[in-house]
Amino acid sequence: MISSDNLELSLKDLSLDGSSSGGEDDNKILKWNLPLKELYRLACSFYKEKSGKAVHLSYEDNLKLVAFTQQAAHGPLDLSQAPPLGMFDVIGKDRRIAWQQLGTITKLQAMEGFIDLLDRLCPLFKPYVEAIKKDKEEKARRAEQEQIKRTEALAAEKERLEEQQRLEDEKNREELQRRQLQDALNQQTYHQFKEYAEIQFPGNPEQQAVLIRQLQNEHYHQYMQQLQAQVATNLARLKRVPGDDGNEDGDDQPTAVVCEKGTEVVEFASATAKENSQFEFKEQCDSDNDSGDYAVISPANMWTKPDIKLFKQEVMAGKGDGVIRVNHGDTVTVKVPTHEGGSCLFWEFATDSYDIGFGVYFEWGKPPTTEVSVHVSESDEDDDTIEEDEEVICAEDLECGTVQGGQMSSAGSGLGSRNPISIIIPIYRRECHQEVYAGSHTYPGEGTYLLKFDNSYSLWRPKTLYYKVFYTR
């Protein structure tokens, strides 16, 4: 039997990388569904590892296998090039004889002969190759799966980054629109709020600036609530059956938030708009209605103040207009004529313990007096009741919601000589016993403001009202 030393020596001359013979086409030769050279390398590794351990071969079989390896590594034996052998090197002579017997077979044929002979002599060789083959296929499958996972992960990460960027862009665009709208509203109300702040904190610019910012923020949030209410109204119109609202074609007309002359407005698109919350700025709005008799009324500004105790103390100390007791079932109307030197009306009010209804109306026409007056009417009296009058027009404001009638009709029918009246703020119950309610409105023209304090819904509770009204230039 060949010794392990001689076996290792014979395998040192073996080219395991397949570079000793043939070209690239040699790798296409398959045996057992594996490239021949790859299978030959596996056979040599198996023979080297198992010979003398798990596999025991005869001396002659080992000579044949070694001869195949020599032929596969160096080609046919050339005695002229072979080194001389010692006199007592019997094994070397036997190896040369076995090598010489292979004749002129090619290196690939020698590899195939080595594989076939080892397969016949060692039954464990083929299962060994199959196990390695399956392990290789499993590794390739896992590598392919990992590559697919990596590709999917990269695609998901790319999609996530794109979605994140899209959301960021959308957020920036909405923030830009919000700032543009808020800047436009701040420009409209700055002078009114500045005059109001100067009255509240005379000689204190820092407190004035803080109050102006608070009022502007409050005005912006109320303005947005109005816009959302208009969107909801437009959507409700879309759901109606065509013709139910008197429009036979079922078309929705655009609604708009009307502002002062020369200022920007936010106009809502009709039902076919891309998004309900989208709006665009207009350069100016008409200051006259269709009839040309009266100017369009701008919305009022409303806000609240927390210092209700201080406010009541100031009014009771004579620094305000006064204190009124509004009995149950009564409505008190404070009539405030427009002033020649004024441009904007301000009001503030609060009550003790309970809420009260509040609304603002405007009576067109030259006021008979310049003095502020207070009128009390019971719920069953109709001399001051204007809900049934055909000439009452509801202007759009932060609490009124959708425009009920955007323009003034000509004076005349139903009222005789009475001047037309527009609703600036409809009467709603206000929690004015918890905080001070305040507001302002730019003069729409010459006339008289009617500040309504309604306690007609109360069956037994009278209300103590504290109020202040003043104008700014």
| Summary count for the chain: helices (H), strands (E) | 8, 15
For the chain, the domain total comes to: 3
Structure-model confidence comparison of residues 321 and 91, the more confident one? 91
Whether 164 and 204 map to the same domain: the answer is yes
> Of the segments 16-30, 67-81, 167-181, which one has the largest average pLDDT value?
167-181
407-448 confidence digits (pLDDT tens): 343 333 444 457 899 999 999 999 999 999 999 999 999 999
The pLDDT of residue 404 = 41
Q: Looking at the domain assignment, is residue 284 inside a domain?
A: no
Q: Looking at the domain assignment, is residue 422 inside a domain?
A: yes
Confirm if 329 and 455 have CB atoms less than 8 A apart.
yes
Predicted confidence (pLDDT) at residue 321 exceeds the cutoff of 60: yes
The pLDDT of residue 68 = 93
Q: pTM for this one? A: 0.44
The pLDDT of residue 248 = 41
Confirm if 321 and 468 have CB atoms less than 8 A apart.
yes
Confirm if 471 and 345 have CB atoms less than 8 A apart.
yes
Predicted confidence (pLDDT) at residue 218 exceeds the cutoff of 90: no
Pick from 3, 6, 129, 128: nearest CA to 69: 6
At 277, list the tokens.
Answer: 């919350």
**Mean pLDDT value of segment 367-384:** 73
The pLDDT of residue 416 = 46
Give me the residues paired with residue 403 across strands.
Answer: none
Q: Looking at the domain assignment, is residue 11 inside a domain?
A: no
The pLDDT of residue 111 = 93
Question: Residues for the chain: how many in total?
Answer: 473
Last residue of a domain, one of 171, 203, 232: 232
Query: Which residues have C-beta within 8 Å of that of residue 360, sequence separation ≥ 6?
Result: 300, 347, 423, 424, 425, 439, 441, 449, 450, 451, 452
Whether 167 and 99 map to the same domain: the answer is no
Q: Point out the least confidently predicted range of 36-40, 283-287, 332-336, 362-366.
A: 283-287
Query: How far lies 229's CA from each of 119, 224, 253, 276, 364, in Å?
Result: 88, 9, 16, 11, 28
Q: Point out the least confidently predicted range of 142-156, 242-256, 297-311, 318-332.
A: 242-256
> Of the segments 268-277, 283-292, 358-367, which one has the largest average pLDDT value?
358-367
The pLDDT of residue 16 = 40
Structure-model confidence comparison of residues 88 and 331, the more confident one? 331
Whether 442 and 346 map to the same domain: the answer is yes
Cα–Cα distance, 367 to 88 (Å, whole number): 144
The pLDDT of residue 295 = 60
Pick from 268, 271, 277: nearest CA to 236: 271
Confirm if 26 and 101 have CB atoms less than 8 A apart.
no
pLDDT band (50, 70, 90) for residue 319: low
Confirm if 423 and 399 have CB atoms less than 8 A apart.
no
Q: Looking at the domain assignment, is residue 362 inside a domain?
A: yes
Whether 307 and 167 map to the same domain: the answer is no
Whether 149 and 109 map to the same domain: the answer is no
Q: Looking at the domain assignment, is residue 168 inside a domain?
A: yes
Predicted confidence (pLDDT) at residue 283 exceeds the cutoff of 60: no
120-134 confidence digits (pLDDT tens): 998 888 899 999 889
Q: Give percent of the chain with pLDDT exceeding 70.
A: 74
Q: Looking at the domain assignment, is residue 195 inside a domain?
A: yes
Whether 118 and 151 map to the same domain: the answer is no
Q: Looking at the domain assignment, is residue 28 inside a domain?
A: no
Whether 358 and 309 map to the same domain: the answer is yes
Q: What is the CATH number of the domain that holds 58?
A: 1.20.80.10
Q: What is the CATH number of the domain that holds 356?
A: 2.60.120.680
Query: How far lies 446's CA from each of 213, 303, 418, 419, 427, in Å?
Result: 30, 25, 15, 12, 22
In terms of Cβ atoms closer than 10 Å to its own Cβ (0-12, 13-18, 19+), residue 416 is exposed
Whether 86 and 161 map to the same domain: the answer is no
Query: How far lies 364's CA from each of 441, 443, 445, in Å?
Result: 15, 11, 8
Whether 169 and 225 map to the same domain: the answer is yes
Whether 350 and 459 map to the same domain: the answer is yes
Whether 172 and 116 map to the same domain: the answer is no
Instruction: Report the sign of the C-alpha dihedral through residues 236, 237, 238, 241, in that order.
Output: positive
> Kind and range of the H or E element at 21?
none
Predicted confidence (pLDDT) at residue 261 exceeds the cutoff of 60: no
Rounded to the nearest 5 degrees, what angle is found at the Cα of 245, between the Cα atoms of 286 and 406? 20
The pLDDT of residue 29 = 77
Cα–Cα distance, 45 to 257 (Å, whole number): 88
Predicted confidence (pLDDT) at residue 285 exceeds the cutoff of 50: no
- What domain range includes position 196? 144-232
Query: H helices within 250-332, ranges in order?
Result: 308-314
Q: Looking at the domain assignment, is residue 287 inside a domain?
A: no
Whether 103 and 156 map to the same domain: the answer is no
